[in-house]
Amino acid sequence: MKTKLQSIALALALTGCLTLAQAQNPKGDHWVSTWTTAQLLARTAPPPAAPAAAQPPRTPQAVGARGFNNQTVRMIVRTSIGGRRARVKIANAFGGASVTVGAAHIAVRSKGSEIVAGSDRPLSFNGKPGCMVGPGMVILSDPVDLEIPQVGDVAVSLYFPGETGPPTTHATGLHNAYIKDGDATAQPAMADAMTTQSYYFLAGVDVLAPRRDALIVAYGDSITDGARSTPETDHSWPALLAARFGSKKKPAAFAIGNMGIGGNRVLRDGTGSSALARFDRDVLGQSGVAWVMLLEGINDIGRMATVPAEAVTADELIGAYKQLIERAHTHGLKIAGCTLLPFQGASYYREPGEAVREAVNNWIRTSGAFDAVVDFEAATRDPANPKRIKPEFDPGDHLHPNDAGYQAMANAVDLQIFNRKK
């Protein structure tokens, strides 16, 4: 009898918990990252010898690389999907010491460092205005009600009251970040602020979204990061893909998270940890992720031109892709393989490397190992010389596309592949 009463009590308690959960989240909504960035440790050069009384240079680059002390950084992010409730993700992924965030705000950006009147929201962490972020930690803010625009600009301001040391950063921000002394998190605009184009300690912005909505992680190197695109115009191919999704009416909305790192490689560390090493943090760690688009390997191939000992074969790259595919599938994700762009004329182009690229692309197209294939090579190659990108897409380095080239890449993605069941 006692056991039966306990069972009934447990059932009632569970029912109560479910009722509370449903009341708090009646539509079954979940968190989805509307914006993300891949992180690495800022590279710092030793300061030149100077008299003891001399102060270190206060250029934006020096401040950003060496960290912050009693300073606010306002960073601009480009959203993909919108929502009415948001939270911010702060990470000290590579720091060697704890970092204190004294205050944090989120707002809709108007222009420059200016925010839209009435949109400013102070953030809290476990009900407190700041938080401590230890080495390797990721901290989520408490949610706030704020109308986050779809494919629009949001400003996140972080105040660091003490020394941070070299920051966890993302170097290719392509949007101005505004640095000002003191706590300026609540200021409508940051007049006379220094500017850089990097992100510091900011890892993502999530929105509460319908259950059908999900995140696509664009996983790659500088071509995914948007290198050689025009700053302040959101012309990386992931941003342009987000704009395409944002212009469509469809049963499911897809957010796009750009997890590209310039100089990144698949098999070995370079700029940032290798694609194999950072997959758990940069893909599996994202809110609401359902798909991965993999475009990486050209830096592994090009490396043989300068460091022959680190030359890779097509079989080695394909083996690494299989690892990433298996890890994605193990966690219930789907993964699209993206063909590598032509690169003849680039500084590290060599004919043996070209043979590797062609073999890898052939495997991506024909193996059936990926859940979908996106043929970026076909979208960007020069018909007169398929080993090169089209002249009208070439900014001059024969490696990265320009704005028009990135648009061609975004246009080459069949949006329906993300709604298909394999």
Global pTM reads 0.90
383: Cα separation from own chain's centroid: 32
**Per-residue pLDDT band at 350 (split at 50, 70, 90):** very high
Whether residue 55 is predicted with pLDDT greater than 50 in this model: the reply is no
The arithmetic mean of pLDDT across residues 271-284, rounded, is 96
Q: Kindly report, residue by residue over 218-262, the tens digit of the pLDDT.
A: 999 999 999 999 999 999 999 999 999 998 766 569 999 999 999
Structure tokens at 412: 């080459």
Confidence at residue 43, expressed as pLDDT on a 0 to 100 scale: 54
Instruction: Give the model's pLDDT for residue 8.
Output: 40
Mean pLDDT score across all residues of the chain: 90
Model pLDDT for residues 122-151, shown as the tens digit of each residue? 999 999 999 999 999 999 999 999 999 999
Spell out where 65-167 has E strands.
71-78, 83-91, 99-101, 103-111, 114-115, 121-122, 131-133, 138-140, 144-148, 153-160
Residue 178 has pLDDT above 50, yes or no: yes
In whole angstroms, what is the distance from residue 73 CA to residue 10 CA?
A: 49
Answer yes or no: is pLDDT of 311 > 80. yes
Residues, the chain, total? 422
**From residue 50, how far is each of 44, 60, 281, 405 by CA, in Å?**
17, 19, 40, 46
* Cβ(298)–Cβ(341) below 8 Å: yes
* Tokens found for residue 38: 């891949």
What CA–CA distance (Å, rounded) separates 29 from 20?
14
pLDDT at 298: 98
